[in-house]
Amino acid sequence: MKNKNTLKHNPKALNEVLQLLSNKWKIFIIRDLLDGKRRFGELKKMTGATQKSLTSALRDLENDEIVERKAYPEIPPRVEYCLTDIGYSLAPVIDTMADWGTDFIKYKELKEKIKEKH
């Protein structure tokens, strides 16, 4: 088990994760690709990102080797995106963030209910 203070001793590691996931579209792309490969249009619809934002985030994720882009020599052209092995390794990070978010929403709702009673 890792020491809870590990990140205090390695700020470079936390910075790396924050740089990688600092864009909400990147997190949504990774989340949606955890279920398998997707085409650009599917990712656009699923994430709600604009074409420009989605293109930029996908390029960044490709450069970081989190996402792989595969173009098929067909007419019309077909391009699919999928996670690399290192991309799939982000699944527990995304799951933990989602779990924490769910708990935080419940916490805020509970605080609001208590506040309304007083």
CATH number of 28's domain:
1.10.10.10
In a domain, 65, yes or no: yes
Full-model pTM: 0.83
Mean pLDDT is highest, among 11-25, 47-61, 104-118, for: 47-61
In a domain, 41, yes or no: yes
Please check whether residue 68 is in contact with residue 81, taking contact to mean a CB–CB distance below 8 angstroms: yes
In a domain, 31, yes or no: yes
In a domain, 117, yes or no: no
In a domain, 55, yes or no: yes
DSSP string, 37-77: -EEHHHHHHHH---HHHHHHHHHHHHHTTSEEEEEE--SS-
Residue-wise pLDDT for 19-39, tens only, equals 888 899 999 999 999 999 999
Phi, psi dihedral angles at 6 (to 5 degrees): -55, -45
What is the domain extent for residue 46?
Answer: 6-89
In a domain, 95, yes or no: no
Domain count, the chain: 1
